[in-house]
């Protein structure tokens, strides 16, 4: 007779395997994005998902980098154009643009508009240097990348004050 597992054993086995997979060293946890021609790394634990630019409702009397409010599955999110926020132009609004939904753990309904997503990147072995007090990474081709500090961004007074 074959061995039968009850539901509790099956669930515990599944949880154990998922936790083991999370701890593996081969896991890549950063997403590469382009903001105003610069390459940035975003920790995947800081975002919940990546979406195409949804329809936006413009909010009057806000700063130019606040693109509007988007309804994503019944929840309202403020959409921030990161290129405009960095004073480096503005996102085009074309099909390549994406919004990074800020993780729920920050309790902040915000979405960051980026020019495009460049895919998963493993920066653990990249060369690092410090530029202007910020760590800069250099990949195998010598291309420079900066890491987006989500909690630091969400604490900036300018970021929190969207009205003009």
CA-wise closest residue to 132 among 115, 144, 150:
144
Helix (H, G, I), strand (E, B) or coil at 18: helix
90 within some domain: yes
> In the predicted model, is pLDDT for residue 25 greater than 60?
no
7 within some domain: no
User: Which residues have C-beta within 8 Å of that of residue 54, sequence separation ≥ 6?
Assistant: 70, 71, 72, 99
pTM of the complete model? 0.80
- 118 with 50: CB under 8 angstroms? no
- 64 with 163: CB under 8 angstroms? no
SS3 per-residue string spanning 31-83:
EEEEECCEEEEEEHHHEEEEEECCCCECCCCECCCEEEEEEECCEEEEEEEHH
CA-wise closest residue to 102 among 45, 157, 19, 152:
45
pLDDT: is 16 or 59 the higher one? Answer: 59
Provide the residue range defining the domain that includes 117. Answer: 29-160
Residue 138 DSSP code: E
Percent of the chain with pLDDT over 70: 90
Which CATH number does the domain housing residue 70 bear?
Answer: 2.40.50.180
Q: Quick one: pLDDT at residue 132?
A: 79
Total of domains in the chain: 1
65 within some domain: yes
pLDDT tens-digit series, residues 124-159: 889 998 877 788 999 999 999 999 999 999 999 999
124 within some domain: yes
Rounded mean pLDDT, 93-100: 94
Q: Quick one: pLDDT at residue 5?
A: 57
Q: Please state, in angstroms and as integers, the Cα–Cα distance from residue 85 to each residue in 67, 138, 153, following that order.
A: 10, 24, 11
């Amino acid at each position: 007779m074959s061995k039968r597992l009850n539901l509790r054993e099956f669930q515990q086995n599944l949880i154990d395997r998922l936790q083991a997979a999370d701890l593996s060293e081969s896991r890549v946890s950063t997403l590469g994005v382009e903001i105003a021609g610069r390459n940035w790394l975003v920790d995947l634990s800081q975002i919940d998902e990546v979406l195409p630019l949804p329809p936006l409702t413009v909010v009057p009397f806000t700063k130019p980098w606040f693109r509007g409010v988007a309804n994503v599955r019944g929840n309202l999110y403020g959409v921030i154009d990161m290129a405009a926020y960095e004073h480096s132009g503005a996102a085009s609004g074309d099909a390549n643009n994406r919004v990074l939904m800020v993780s729920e753990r920050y309790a902040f309904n915000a979405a960051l508009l980026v020019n495009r997503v460049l895919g998963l990147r493993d920066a653990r072995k990249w060369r690092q240097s410090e530029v202007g007090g910020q760590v800069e990474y250099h990949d195998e081709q010598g291309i420079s990348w900066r890491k987006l500090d989500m909690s630091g961004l969400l604490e900036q007074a300018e970021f929190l004050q969207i009205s003009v």
